[in-house]
Amino acid sequence: MIRLRSPGLPGKSRTTRASEGSSPARLWRPGVFGALDIGSTKITCLIGRGEADGRLQVLGHGWLRSDGVRHGAIVDLRAAEAVIRTVVGNAEREAARSLDSVVVNLSAGHPESRIFNVHWPVGGREITEGDLSRIVSEARMNARAEGRAVIHTLPLDFAVDETDGVRDPRGHVCDQLRARMHVVDAASTALRTLDSVISRAELSLDALVSAPLAAGLSVTDEDQRQIGTIVIDMGGGTTSIAVFSEGLPVHTAQISIGGQHVTRDIASGLGTSLENAERLKTMHGHADLSAETDDGITIRIERAGGAQPGYEAVPRSALGDIIRPRVEETFELVRDRLDSAGFSGTAGWRVILTGGGSLLDGTGSLAARVLNRPVRLGRPAGIPGLPAECAAASFATTTGLLMWAASARRPFGDIDTPPQKPAGFLNKLVSAVREWV
């Protein structure tokens, strides 16, 4: 069955609509849900449930430094499986619940965002559920033909004949149905690897969610998504982008640069180990333009290798001189992606920075200068039971995944259309071969 974002779909009673409109409480599905964020720097699990008062209560959490993951993709199944088992087990013990399935973030497989304009002849009759299914199938066809799997099918708008802006076209009478669909897809092979590592950890995949959509769900509200907001999630191996307009995600993108690149730059520039470089970045790192001159503060560097390894004091400004170019490059690439996607004329839209990389001092001011937009830091809020460390910007994606898992309706109108099972033994065999070859 097609699920759309309309607040009053056909078949609902007036009483139901009225009660939904008058209640500020968010609707959650009954039960307990798990979210698993497989990142390049850390792997995190949250377990939670929706309460009757509209809150989303966190029951348990677990997180560890990532292993076996590079740029969001699984590169070592055994290493990733071991970390997943540990973090899920820690969350289960804290929640006193066991998980059978999880909602997982999508960063692997080079995810892409595409807009499809689809036309469907209706022939002067009422639009049915079957017409919408065919519209969705048309939008997904190109991705599948290129060996890619569709993760999200997000309806941006419908038009029935000359009437634009129709939210739910079912029941309308028209000759032509038009739809603008936002499709997010990824390489099928990478997704099979992801599914394999989840299965090895004795879990099933409840849903895949685009990482920037999950981050955007946790750090924006409906008003911000209506007026136009760009969410930039600065992770360890990647930086992802989600653009929201009129309440919906209209574009996503991913750049293969993240906090780990900054750490390597520090290690190379100061001649220290990656472990020491990460510590220096966390404790003293900054991208502040105002700190270009020497501020008089020195930091102690442990030199690695060489004939006489030891410690050396260097100005803190030297650390900023190493970090700033990489962060500036990241925002320049973000700007280029936005421009190429047609968002160069939206300079007034607010940017929300989130993810671990956004926590470096001066990152916000540098982003505002490069992107020429107002910028603020976004972090999860208003979720009881969320541990203090998980309320930081670096856990925005994980929190968004839990919100997605527990939502009574699929966020952003994401269309859920289970594939129809082919009839007949021969057709089933052909379908299976097409699915896996």
Residues pairing with 159 in the sheet:
178
| CATH fold label, 259-325 | Nucleotidyltransferase; domain 5 (3.30.420)
Highest mean pLDDT: which range of 21-30, 68-77, 388-397: 68-77
**What's the pLDDT tens digit per position in 1-20?**
455 543 333 333 333 333 33
SS3 (DSSP) at 326: helix
C-alpha 117: how far from chain center: 24
| pTM attached to this predicted model | 0.85
Range in 133-137, 176-180, 308-312, 429-433 the model is least confident about? 429-433
Where are the chain's structural domains? 259-325
Mean pLDDT of 414-436: 46
Considering only 162-171, 210-219, 304-313, which range has the smallest mean pLDDT? 304-313
Q: Which residues contact 57 (CB under 8 A, 6 or more apart)?
A: 48, 49, 50, 51, 383, 384, 385
- At 79-103, the pLDDT tens digits run 999 999 999 999 999 999 999 999 9
pLDDT tens, position by position, 55-75: 899 999 999 999 999 888 899
Q: Flag whether pLDDT at 185 surpasses 60.
A: yes
Strand ranges (DSSP E) for 168-323?
173-187, 204-210, 229-234, 239-245, 248-255, 298-302, 311-315
pLDDT tens per residue across span 332-351 = 999 999 999 999 877 779 99
Up-side HSE of residue 125: CA atoms within 13 Å toward CB?
Answer: 9
